[in-house]
Amino acid sequence: MFDILTEHFDAFSSGLWVTTRLVGLSLLIALVLGTLVAALRVAPSAWLQRLGGVYVEIFRNIPLLVLLFISFAGLRRAGVGIGAWTAGIASLGIYTSAYVAEALRSGVFSVSKGQREAALSLGFSQAETLRRIVLPQAFRTVIAPLGSITIAMIKNSAIVGASLLALPDLLKEARIVNSNTFQTTEAFFWAAVGYLLLTLSATVLFRTLEARLAIRR
């Protein structure tokens, strides 16, 4: 059991590092895009709201695997090929951003109306009110759902490596170790430990953030 870990430690650790980077970068994209889309969803114009709604419904309901095929093989065929990393991060980030946008939107609605009215009456513009008053509070009410989304994202990152993208993530490395040693259970066991390690640390991180920052309503 342990000798497969010690013998192939480099493979497992580099896989874990690739998965971590993949998740970190995609999370960044998901948060930025998700915030923008959430802003559209609560914009004062019905058309912008609808635009945000279409974005969310499309990317929340399309399988991540299909998105990966579109962004990698599809775009390559169209002549605007992007690399495996770019395609993987963009797909995972865009897919997750729809969930982030939905979480944030419900957070925005939980910020009391008085906050917004007070800001507007103090002379803040709509955009400033959203950026300085409403969104900061919304973020702090949706820390727990954002934690769930991040954990789901760690799990979804395995799809990126398992698709046609040749990203050597944790699962991919475990499969390579397996095909070299034929010790399937051992190889997958250590990859499982790696994934549980990641999801567990995300849980601890978000629980700490929640204890420090959350506004309970």
Partner 1 sequence: MGYLFDGDNWEWLWTENNASFLLEAFLVNVEIAVIAIVLALVLGLGLALASIAQARLVRLTAKGWVDVFRNLPLIFLILYLALSLPDSLKDFWAANAPGFLPEALRGKLVLAGIIGLVLYNSAVLAEIMRAGILSLDRGQREAAAALGLSYRQQMRHVLLPQGLRRMVPATVSQLITLNKDTTLVSIIAVQEVVRSGRVLSNTAGNPFVGGGDIAAPILQVMIFIGLLFVLVNLALSRLSRRLELREGRRTAGARRVSVSGIEDQAVAPT
Residues that bind partner 1 (CB under 8 A): 57-58, 60-67, 69-70, 73-75, 77-79, 96, 99, 102-103, 106, 109-110, 144-145, 147-149, 151-159, 162-163, 171, 175, 178, 184-185, 188, 191-192, 195-196, 199-200, 203
- To the nearest whole angstrom, how small is the minimum distance from the Cβ of residue 179 to partner 1? 9
Q: Which is nearer to partner 1, 30 or 119 (CB)?
A: 30
Residue in the block written with tokens 């889309």: 37
One DSSP character per residue, 76-126 reads HHTT----HHHHHHHHHHHHHHHHHHHHHHHHHHHS-HHHHHHHHHTT--H
**Within 13 A of 211's CA, how many CA atoms are on the CB side?**
5
Whose Cβ is closer to partner 1: residue 77's or residue 121's? 77
CB of 20 to partner 1, least distance (A): 14
Nearer to partner 1, 133 or 170 (CB): 170
* DSSP assigned state of 215: P
- Measured from the CB of residue 122, what is the shortest distance to partner 1 in angstroms? 26
Which lies closer to partner 1 via its Cβ, residue 51 or residue 124?
A: 51
Q: Indicate the helix (H) or strand (E) that contains 26.
A: helix 9-41
CA 83 vs. chain centroid, Å, equals 19
Which amino acid, one-letter code, is at 202?
A
- Rounded to a whole number of angstroms, the minimum distance from the CB of residue 125 to partner 1 is 27
CB 88 within 8 A of CB 70: no
Q: How far is the CB of 86 from partner 1 (least distance, A)?
A: 16
SS3 14: helix
Rank residues 51 and 65 by Cβ distance to partner 1 and give the closer one.
65
